[in-house]
Chains A and B, each alone.
Chain A
Amino acid sequence: MSRISRRGFLGGALAGIASAHLSEAHGADEGSEGSGGSGGSGGSGGNEAAPPPAGGIEGAAQVRLSFSCNGADHVQEIGADDVALQVIRRGVGLTGAKLGCGAGTCGACTVLVDGEPHVTCLLPATALEGRQVTTIEGLSDSAEPADLHPIQRAFLAADALQCGYCTPGFVVEAVAFYDRWRAEHGSEEPDRDTIAAALAGHLCRCGAYQAIYAAVAAACRGDHDSAEVTYARIDGPEKVTGAAKYTVDVALEGMLEAKILRSPIAHGILHGLDDSAAAAMEGVIAIHRLVPNGHRVRFAGQEIAAVAAIDEATAIAALAAITLDLEELPAVITVEEARSPSAPVLYPDRRARREVLSASEGPLLSASWEGNVRGPFSSSILAKPRRGRKDLENAAINGTVSSGTWETQVLCHSALEPHAAVARFTGGALEVWASTQSCHDLAEDLVHRFGLERDQVVVRCPYVGGAFGAKVGLQMETLVAVELARLAGAPVRVALSREEELTTGGLRPGQIIELAVGMSVNGSLMGVSHQAINDSGVAVGNVTGMLTRLLYDSGAKDLDDFDVVTNTPPGKPFRGPGGPPAYLALEGAIDQLAHDAGEDPIALRRRWDPNVPRNAIYDWIEGLEVYQDRGEVGADKGRYRRGVGLAAGGWFHFWDPGAQLELEAGPSGFVARTASQDMGNGTRSMIAAAVAGRLGIAPAEIQVELGDSRAIYGPMSAGSRTTSSLAPAAEDAADQLIEAMVELAASRGIAGEAAPGGVRRSDGTVVPWLEVLDGAAPLRTSGRRRRDSQAAVLPVPIAHVKIGRTWPGVVNLSEIEIDTRLGRVTVREAWVGVGVGRIVCPPVARSQMEGATVQGISYALYEDRRLDGGTGHLLTHSLDDYRIAGIGDVPPIHVHFAEVGFEHVRGGAVGIGEIGIVAVPASIANAVFHATGWRPHRLPLTPSAMLEGLS
């Protein structure tokens, strides 16, 4: 191996888009956001650049820009490459318009320029000259319903938003469409295609499209002309007005910007790093090494060092000035290469294996290694694996076996808010703002990592712009922000570019699953085997076999997972980890068995499926016309072929037994508080609904404070544990509060008993709670997540989690159409029945299911992370090439809740986050089989794959 010296690459080329070119004209302090707004409104003062010369041939480094924003005039100095988004976010200081993709694809940065929607990430700032800009903040005077634009009210009413990060862009675009439409069409309702065409320049990663269609249609019908609106998402008003502040919007006095130097090669040893030139650059404040000399870099894009500078442009320039002495080693990019006998072994010994990363949501369990293969990890403990294999052998002789090999691709979480963190030390105390799904655990991690006291650390995440599993615990951006803040003695911000986000932000592992299901002559389940190869890059521990175990537990099963390590970025848990590939295989095999036996696919499943909620859902599906009239396999012979596919899925009942929630009641109202967070999944609204339900008042009367690690212990938002943990804790707190309020009432001469809304006197009149509380000292209660009546799988929690013995269930039904000429699969309509017990807050639960369905469609049809096979560099480095479902790809989705089977659970509700996605791809693949008689074994179902499969 020759030694090479080469420069590390910039932390995402797109970083430049957010770079503060503004600063080039200003002093060092003036470049960063929140530093007094020097780049801001009307502040050019003595810093004016010369106006453009006559004829325009003589150039200037900076030019003066005059424009109006939301009715106020602004003058700024701008550079050639500045984009309008910077001018608005940094100069004007309005953060409603968001940087999402940086490439004009996602539309999160959309504002109105002279009334017309423009993406400001690709709009030269110079184009604003003399123009009138309207941002989301300019659409309404306040978040009061009466002040909102009808489109904003419609988004609230339809729950057309989840994390809210894309919402300002959608709302601004929808407002422009609405105004035009109403002017031309009055109260006529636009059809779906018209709405999709108008909103085609926006992406919602949470998948709120179904409700967005409904919102726009309703507003155009005139449904929201009146000033009132009812809505369930209690933080909705902040999100539809651009007032919600995400981590990327945090601006602190003197804040530095940090960028990360990443490995330019997929595998090598770092012998040296020369940062002397970078350190000497003006404006560079601190540099932190992440890989020591002599250590390996294991994938292209791995974090090597980070620089904090007065602005992003300086930080990026500093990265370019760092030289690396890297010894390049042969790299293994694909699973196929990694399994070849001649492949270099990436983790050759125990010491090296200590460096291996975990792709698992839970603790990493030990397993043996052979070459680059780790495993098997068996999910068959107490599932009679040997008998499972034997059963299958017997079924092959005397029965039927359905088997195959299914392959799924690597996916990117790609939440629209990138991984981002801001850190600030004040004395010994550390404050962190982070886009995280675990503010409490992150605070604990920081305490341990940096040797701080618990009361010295606070983590805040009031709004999180999507996470989907990629933002649990101490992530690299937070580590870097804190290290650099400590070194620099100043606040530091890190926000990944979209390219960085797509490289390392979060990846759903790919799989190759060999699966077989046996059926005896009398139709009973006779053995299941499931052998999975997981491609989690440099990480290990992804498990799929456990998901196969969750279904049809009457049979013996042999379930093994292997990891194959490669020199590619690490996998992370992604909504329903392991579920979609497992059910693609299992439900594909079962669909085939039913077909081969000439049996109704539900009838077959019912025979094997003891799951109470799923059986209730089967009843619902059997009643659907689309299921009854689905017809024979391959009935259509023409260009367009319709198919209906069904797939079942399961998930776990997890809860955090330590979860608590504090309720405070005073004359000004009710406040619920816990150290959990809302990443768009609706935790705030669910808590409000739970408390309000007990008190008998409107959820809007409950203020819910999340996203602060100093609050009483709350769960992380992962593993579908929030509702199952926090709804019971909230109701416990509410019950205690009711008791306390009744006592308080008695002490104040209001004798009576608790009733919805207040204390009922013997004469039947109800004294409202707030009247009871009037003038009294605030009451405070804290609720716990008490035990279920059914024992957990293990008596003690593992990693904060207890596991129930009864599983939630889901069944997806997809109706698709295939254009056999152009190789396109379109989902025409989707149905999902889900059994997660009691639905605490139906509108947000519905949104969770719809969003999961959208992500499942996107998984099955479009998304595909692609790396260059030679170098391991990411090819799908933008949202143009990493293709996620847009609004036009989303069909009508029907959600059915089967609220049975969890009467033994405290509060009756289990989590809903993951289960919605796990069986969607399988239902689509089964629909392709139904349409054509050809069963896909590989995702995504691109035109290329479809043309090949159907030929």
Chain B
Amino acid sequence: MIRFPTTIEAAAASEGRLRAGGTDELDLRHRRITSGPVVDLRDLAGLDRIETIEAGGLRIGAMVPLAVLATDQRIRGGWPGLAGAAGGLATPQIRARATLGGSLLQQVRCWYYRSVHFDCLKKGGGACFARGGDHVFHSALDTGPCIAAHPSTMACALWAFDAGIEIGGDLEALRTIPELLGDGSDPRETHALQPGEVLTAIHLPAPTAGDRSAYFRTIHRARAEWPLVESTVRVHTDEAGVMTGLALAVGGVANRPLRYDDAARALIGLRPDDPKVDAVFAALGKPTEELPGSAYKARLIPPTLRETLDLALAAPPAEPLIETAPEGEEAP
């Protein structure tokens, strides 16, 4: 059974699995993890646009392909860390098809979850097989019953920019990334959207003049690999090069993306080459004894953050958007 809703309301009212780009959903269906009717969002108009919103922010439709996000001049200028994240994940062909919304709501890559042979917690089963088994690509930090690393690079990056999540076209009641994803305590959930809720856009607050940002993923091969650790760093420095504001988001190491706000505060007032910076990062790299197979990923958190910070500092500062009037039509 397949439906092609043309409005958000119709999509929300349709019973079945929402399908945007389909790159994850088709894999899940081929593996018989998901089934039932398909709600194909192909004919849903208006969600594939990037629009400027008041005060120099952007509203990015949920159906915008990641390749567009990666190359959009406004995003590259104002939120380079976000463009870097969109351009750094998966492969060119996947980025051409996968959407922003789908990338936020995709399922975990756990090899137990994606195997027909294991009825794991996320599928409603009784055990996490990775926990006592092979979790070399899983969480390094024990943040919930399911230890699959949260798969969304975009969620992690958007958190660093304090993005707001628009549900059902409601421009006012935006949710935060933690609200979108939930706290990870329910292993069956990879996000906290309720049935009938449709993610329609994300809202990016305007960058402050001088904001710098970057995205970096630590992987084994050169390209096209799920991250061992990834991070997006937003940093602001004064004329003397002292850091005056930071956001540190890290993914690939826990069942939700992480934001290290205490560490970010501890860095304020330091110059980037101050040894205290690495000491602050080093404190974030403590593996948990419960997950020995992925302990190395915890050890990779500090150098990954360092790499990302250095990249951010080397990047040109954000170019805030000049026009502030909404472009094109309001959201449907």
| Interaction A to B | yes
A residues neighboring B (CB under 8 Å): 9-10, 13-17, 52, 55-61, 63, 79-81, 83, 102-105, 107, 110, 116-119, 121-124, 126-127, 129, 173, 196-198, 200-201, 264, 300, 821-824, 826, 861-862, 866, 868-871, 873-878, 880-881, 883, 885-886, 888-889, 942-944, 947-948
Find out whether the CB atom of A875 lies under 8 angstroms from the CB atom of B1: no
* Chain A CB within 10 Å, residue with most, of B22, B31, B91: B91
Contact partners of A107 in chain B: CB under 8 A: 91, 93
- B13: Cβ under 8 A from any A Cβ: yes
**Chain B 205-228 against A: per-residue CB contact (8 Å), 1 yes, 0 no?**
000000000000010111111101
Q: How far is the CA of A886 from the CA of B221 in the complex (A)?
A: 8
For B4, the chain A residues whose CB sits under 8 A away are 52, 56, 63, 126
Given A16-B29, A201-B93, A947-B296, A81:B3 Cβ within 8 A: no
- Asked if B155 is at the interface (CB within 8 A of a chain A CB), the reply is no
What total count of A-B pairs have CB within 8 Å? 206
Contact A124 B43 (CB under 8 A): no
* Shortest distance between the CB of B226 and any CB in chain A (Å): 7
What CA separation (Å) do A873 and B90 show in the bound complex?
A: 26
- Give CA–CA (A823, B226) in the complex, Å: 16
Given contacts A57-B5, A824-B220, A886-B223, contact A200 B92 (CB under 8 A): yes
* Cross-chain contact A59 with B37 (CB below 8 angstroms): yes
Q: In the complex, are the beta carbons of A81 and B93 less than 8 A apart?
A: no
Instruction: Please give, as numbers and ranges, the residues of chain B lying within 8 Å of A123 by CB-CB distance.
Output: 22-23, 26, 97
Are B22 and A124 neighbours in the complex by a CB distance under 8 Å?
yes
Contact of A875 among B29, B134, B296 (CB under 8 A): B134
- Complex contact A943–B31 (CB within 8 A): no
Q: Contact check, A875 vs B111: say whether CB atoms are below 8 A apart.
A: yes
Assess whether B133 is in contact with A868, with CB atoms less than 8 Å apart. Answer: yes
Does A56 lie within 8 Å of B6, measured CB to CB? yes
> Are B303's CB and A119's CB within 8 A?
no
- Tell me the complex Cα distance, A944–B220, Å: 10
Q: How far is the CA of A110 from the CA of B296 in the complex (A)?
A: 35
Say yes or no for B38: interface residue by CB 8 A criterion.
Answer: yes
Task: Give which listed residue, B27, B43, B92, contacts A117 with CB less than 8 A.
Answer: B92
Residues 41-67 of B, flagged 1 when their CB comes within 8 A of A and 0 if not, give 011000000000000000000000000
State which of B1, B19, B29, B117 has its C-beta within 8 Å of the C-beta of A9: B117
Knowing A13-B32, A104-B27, say if A868 contacts B112 (CB, 8 Å).
yes
For window 86-133 of B, CB contacts with A under 8 Å fall at: 90-94, 96-97, 109, 111-112, 114-118, 129, 132-133
> Known pairs A10-B32, A124-B22, A821-B307. 10 more at Cβ < 8 A?
A55-B5, A57-B3, A104-B94, A122-B94, A198-B92, A822-B218, A822-B304, A868-B112, A870-B132, A942-B220
Judge if B76 is at the interface, Cβ distance under 8 Å.
no
Contact of B299 with A by CB under 8 A: yes
Number of interface residues of B (CB under 8 A): 62
Judge if B324 is at the interface, Cβ distance under 8 Å: no
A885-B221, A888-B223 known; A264+B117 contact, CB < 8 A: yes
B137 contacts which of A56, A116, A824, A881 (Cβ < 8 Å)?
A881
Do A122 and B1 form a contact, CB below 8 Å, given A13-B32, A868-B133, A888-B221?
no
**Which residues of A sit under 8 angstroms from B224, Cβ to Cβ?**
105, 200-201, 886, 888
Judge whether A947 and B299 touch: CB under 8 Å. yes
Within the assembled complex, what's the spacing in Å between the Cα atoms of A14 and B114?
10
Q: Do B6 and A122 touch (CB < 8 A)? A: no
Closest CB-CB distance, B127 to chain A, in whole Å? Answer: 10
Instruction: Check A201–B222 contact: CB distance below 8 A.
Output: no
Q: What is the CB-to-nearest-CB distance from B282 to chain A, in angstroms, rounded to a whole number?
A: 12
Closest to A888 in B: B222
| Interface residue? B254 (CB, 8 A) | no
Separation of A604 and B268 alpha carbons in the complex (Å): 57
- Chain B residues contacting A198 (CB-CB under 8 Å) are 92
B192 within 8 A of A: no
B4-25 interface code vs A (CB 8 A; 1 in, 0 out): 1111001001101001001100
Q: Can you list 28 A-B pairs with a CB-CB distance of less than 8 A?
A: A9-B117, A14-B30, A52-B3, A57-B5, A59-B1, A60-B3, A61-B1, A63-B2, A79-B2, A83-B26, A118-B97, A122-B23, A123-B97, A124-B22, A124-B42, A200-B92, A200-B222, A264-B117, A823-B296, A866-B111, A875-B111, A876-B111, A878-B114, A883-B225, A886-B224, A889-B222, A943-B220, A944-B296
Say how far B299's CB is from chain A's closest CB, in angstroms.
6
- For the residues of A in contact with B, the DSSP-based class is loop
Say if the beta carbon of B193 comes within 8 Å of chain A. no
Whether A200 pairs with B91 at a CB distance below 8 angstroms is: yes
Q: Is B171 an interface residue (CB 8 A)?
A: no
The one of B93, B111, B114, B221 that contacts A104, using a Cβ cutoff of 8 Å:
B93
Asked if A55 and B40 sit within 8 Å, CB to CB, the answer is no
Task: Give the CA-CA distance A200 to B134 in the complex, in Å.
Answer: 27
Which of B2, B23, B96 contacts A116, CB < 8 Å? B96
Contacts of A862 in B (CB 8 A): 220-221
- Contact check, B116 vs A10: say whether CB atoms are below 8 A apart: yes
Contact B225–A868 (Cβ < 8 Å): no
Is B136 on the interface with A (CB-CB < 8 A)?
yes
Residues 135-160 of B, flagged 1 when their CB comes within 8 A of A and 0 if not, give 01100000000000000000000000
In the docked arrangement, what's the CA distance between A856 and B228, Å?
A: 23
Nearest first, the 5 A-B pairs at minimum CB distance are: A201-B91, A888-B222, A944-B296, A80-B2, A80-B38
Collect the chain A residues with CB atoms within 8 Å of residue B16's CB: 59
Q: Find chain B residues with CB under 8 A from A9 CB.
A: 116-117
Given A122-B26, A124-B19, A943-B220, decide whether A56 and B5 contact each other with a Cβ distance below 8 A: yes
Whether a CB of chain A sits under 8 angstroms from the CB of B300 is yes
Point out the residue from B3, B97, B300 that lies within 8 Å of A823, measured CB to CB.
B300
The reply to whether B96 and A57 contact each other, CB–CB distance below 8 Å, is no
Q: Restricting to B276-332, which residues have a CB under 8 Å from any CB of A? A: 296, 299-300, 303-304, 306-307
Q: Which residue of A lies closest to B302 (CB)?
A: A821
A126 and B117 contact, Cβ closer than 8 Å, known pairs A81-B29, A117-B92: no
Contact A875 B115 (CB under 8 A): yes
Q: Which residue of chain B has the shortest Cβ distance to A821 in the bound complex?
A: B303
Smallest Cβ-Cβ distance to B303: which chain A residue? A821
Query: How far is it, in angstroms, between the C-alpha of A880 and the C-alpha of B42 when the chains are bound?
Result: 27
A173 contacts which of B40, B93, B133 (Cβ < 8 Å)? Answer: B93
* B1 lies within 8 A of A104 (CB): no
User: In this complex, what residue of A is CB-closest to B133?
Assistant: A868
Residues of A within 8 Å of B5, CB to CB, are 55-57
A872 nearest CB neighbor, chain B only: B117
Chain B residues near A16 (CB, 8 Å)? 29-32
Cβ-closest chain B residue relative to A819: B303
A57 touches B91 (CB 8 A): no
CB-based contact B32/A877 at 8 Å: no
User: Are B7's CB and A55's CB within 8 A?
Assistant: yes
When distances are taken between beta carbons in the complex, the residues of chain A under 8 Å from B129 are 868, 870
Contact A81–B222 (Cβ < 8 Å): no
Which B residues are in CB contact (< 8 Å) with A61?
1-2
A122 near B133: Cβ-Cβ < 8 Å: no
Q: How far is the CA of A712 from the CA of B26 in the complex (A)?
A: 47
Closest beta carbon of chain B to A816's beta carbon, Å: 14
CB pair B26–A873 under 8 Å, yes or no, is no
Is the pair A869, B31 in contact by a Cβ cutoff of 8 Å?
no
CB distance from A412 to the nearest CB of B (A): 14
**What's the nearest-Cβ distance from chain B to residue A235, in Å?**
27
For A875, the chain B residues whose CB sits under 8 A away are 111-112, 115, 134
Chain A residue numbers with a CB within 8 Å of B90 are 104, 201
CB contact between A56 and one of B1, B3, B133 (< 8 Å): that residue: B3
